Amino acid sequence: MFRINLLLSFLLLTFGLTAQNTVNIIPKPVSLTVNEGSFTIDYKTSVKYIADKDLQAAAKYFTSCIKDISDVNLAVVKNPSKTIELKYDKAKVPQAEGYILTVTKNKITITANNRQGILFGIQSILQTLPAIRTNGALNVPCMEITDYPAFKWRGMHLDVSRHFFSPETVKTYIDLIAKYKFNTFHWHLIDDQGWRLEIKKYPKLTSVGAWRVDRNHLDWDDREIMKPGEKPTYGGFYTQAQVREILAYAAERGVTVVPEIEMPAHVESAIAAYPNLSCIQKPQSVLPGGIYPVDYQTSYCAGNEDVFKFLEDVLTETMSLFPSKYIHIGGDELDKRFWEKCPKCQKRMKDEGLKDVDELQSYFIKRMEKFVVSKGRKIIGWDEILEGGLAPEATVMSWRGEAGGIAAAKMNHDVIMTPGNPLYFDHYQAGPQGEPLANGGFNTLGKVYNYYPVPKELTSEQAKHILGAQANLWAEFIKTRLQVEYMVLPRMAALAEVVWTPVEMKNFADFRKRLQSHFVAYGQSGLNFSKGNYSVEIKPLIENGKLNVQLNTEMPDVEIRYTTDGSLPNPNSLLYSAPFEVTSSINVKAVTVENGKVMPLEPSSQSFVMHKAIGGSVNYVNKNSNAYPADGPNSLVDGIRGTYAVGKFWHGFSGKNLIATIDLGSVKNISSISLGCLQHYRDWIFMPTEVSFEVSVDGINFKQVGKEINNIPPTETQAIIKDFTARFNNTDARYIRVTAKVLPEAPKGHPGEGKPVWIFADEVMVE
């Protein structure tokens, strides 16, 4: 049993007053008035409530929290003289999760619609108290709070398949969820790399499917499968007894746990245990990483009745454990090539009148939804469940941007927004220099805070289907509890305000100030949190044909000091006050300085390569993806070369040719043009098949000056950066047109075989 007092440093996360009459509650309450004085919790304090089992449970939880940060035992009596009263008043608090917290010198009252609101009021009290055990006075400032959430679904996700995390770690994660008034824990229990939930009817799911060979010394995409004679030793699973204990722990804190049982893809761990569930029925081992052999199947056979019997059995046991209204069934990234060749799947399609494998996927999801609904529950699926037709009552979790969510809302289906940009917390939050290896992308604290889950494309009626938002923490690169904490803190606090606080009340500068006391509490509690918010963003600005550099930090009241010669900056280096012009190739390094000291972070660093296209304007025939905008339309001529950190400096084009025309601003004499591109097999990013270069003086009549055919095979799984280049005799040109032709589809053997792929491009360099 993981005892409450061992978790308290996580549970009591923030943390009070930084100055008189200042309360640093996150998420920001709807209404907060701070008055003079405080209520002192001491041995004379009692908890008062009417006879109600939910109020009794909330009171027990609160008294245990107070006991663990002090030596105060709050008595529970009928008529105390100094009280903390918990009570219901649905008329006064009509919102289901709302509460009113009133603190005077002699009494604290939490009034709520239900137990959930009582618990949120308790969390607001705890945020004004010390983060760790203390012998000091427990003073709650006198105040009046009226509070309720902006969105119904406020979620955090944790992937325990790619790396298994102990029940104790899961509980600490739940503590963080509760502290910041989230109400949902999305538990990703099943994936190719491990089956983590005990299913008594199918014991091999955990005796076989929960274990893989240890390849942790290798990069995620370089891990070969188990060899003959090797033993799978890395992994783990949760017994049903442990699951019940975790669920009770979450319920005590007002957190609903939604299990994810993946289907029909991402189930190689199940097929390793029971090969008869696949189309090929070939013995295989649990995947140790992100790349798998072409003859491995990671999906169930949609034509096999045994598969549906198996899944109904699994879901029956799952639903007997989890009382949640929703069951997440995955539905993403299905490799359909096995279905296309499988006689059973083809027969299913013929028998059911299905025209293609997309409709077969829809049949699969609809059939499983019908079963789940028959048990009184509802399904959630990733946005791929839209393919082939959406199940009647399904809720869509939109992760590939917002397009899937928009489409579902327009079809009157409920939606939870989880777009990779900015809500994938496995992406970098700073750096990447000085940061632990992450899964590409770049989602800073500010990007998270400034997100709003309701797209402008929706009408007011359609917008009602947006239940809320959720951050996802995928664990390919996250192996330990410390890494889990680092990736979610403090971004979790920013998302809490996104889904709780009215959008018109949000203010990033105010949030950053309140966050400072949370940083102190994290440190006191031993939490591993990112200080990347103190890092400096080095941003190119193209204005009037010139390249300027802007330096920003998300933290208030600090200096930015920088150098341009590649040397390490210090408190006496150049003080940044305004954007400065770049006229030659330089290496900018920058740090934040607080109270005369450099913050203990790796300096931000960015090289700028000067060439003749710098500062030009760029026009595209095909618009690039909103998910990968780099630094905007002129990113191809901002002097920055892309790196292996996918997503930060790359322009992304999905299924389209890159056709860009660059206006140099004046006629220039040039002799070479090049375009940088990235191949990243696992992320569906491939080299263009060819790149051609054209020049023009008038922008109307173009002539080709070179073309390079790609020589990198699409089957190459190592990440590669390549410059496509044309060299030619000196010629005058004002306009340059670059055309990069996209690979028609993902290559044979790739998980996305036959589907559109990406071109990633960075800089067009002209000499």
Active-site residues, by number, are: 191, 266, 333
Provide the residue type at 425 as one letter: F
User: Which of the 8 DSSP states describes residue 623?
Assistant: P
In the chain, the N- to C-terminal Cα span, in Å, equals 67
Alpha-carbon span 738 to 524, nearest angstrom? 54
What is the dihedral sign for C-alpha 261, 262, 268, 274?
Answer: positive
Non-local (6+) Cβ contacts of 89 within 8 A are 111, 112, 113
Residue 499 contacts residue 505 (beta carbons within 8 Å): no
- Specify which residues 304 forms β-bridges with: none
Alpha-carbon span 618 to 735, nearest angstrom? 10
Instruction: Give 532-535's long-range contacts (Cβ < 8 A, gap of 24+).
Output: 532/429, 532/430, 532/431, 532/435, 532/444, 532/445, 532/601, 533/429, 533/430, 533/444, 533/445, 533/490, 534/558, 534/592, 534/594, 534/599, 534/601, 535/430, 535/431, 535/434, 535/592, 535/601, 535/602, 535/604
Alpha-carbon span 736 to 740, nearest angstrom? 13
DSSP one-letter string for 637-698: GSS----SSTTSS-EEEESS-EEEEEEEEEEEEEEEEEEEEEEBGGGTB---SEEEEEEESS
Give CA angle at 461 (459, 466), nearest 5°. Answer: 90
Non-local (6+) Cβ contacts of 8 within 8 A are 65, 68, 69, 132, 133
Question: What Å distances lie between residue 530 and 273, 482, 513, 533, 534, CA to CA?
Answer: 39, 11, 16, 7, 9
Residue 509 contacts residue 497 (beta carbons within 8 Å): no
DSSP one-letter string for 93-149: --STT-EEEEE-SSEEEEEESSHHHHHHHHHHHHTTS-SS--SS-EEEEEEEEEE--
Residue 655 contacts residue 693 (beta carbons within 8 Å): no
b/e 615-625 (16+ beta carbons within 10 angstroms → b): bbebeeeeebb
Two structure tokens written together for 548: 């300027």
User: Which of the 8 DSSP states describes residue 437?
Assistant: P
- Whole-angstrom Cα Rg for the chain: 28
Residue 497 contacts residue 28 (beta carbons within 8 Å): yes
Burial class (CB within 10 angstroms; exposed 0-12, middle 13-18, buried 19+) of 221:
middle
Neighbour count for residue 82 (Cβ, 10 Å): 16
Alpha-carbon span 293 to 208, nearest angstrom? 19
Q: Name the residue among 525, 581, 533 with its Cα closest to residue 556.
A: 533
Only one residue has tokens 């004499």, namely 669
DSSP one-letter string for 564-616: SBSPPP-TTSEEP-S-EE--S-EEEEEEEEETTEE-SSPPEEEEE---TTTT-
Alpha-carbon span 460 to 463, nearest angstrom? 5
Instruction: For residue 736, give the H/E element and its range.
Output: strand 720-741
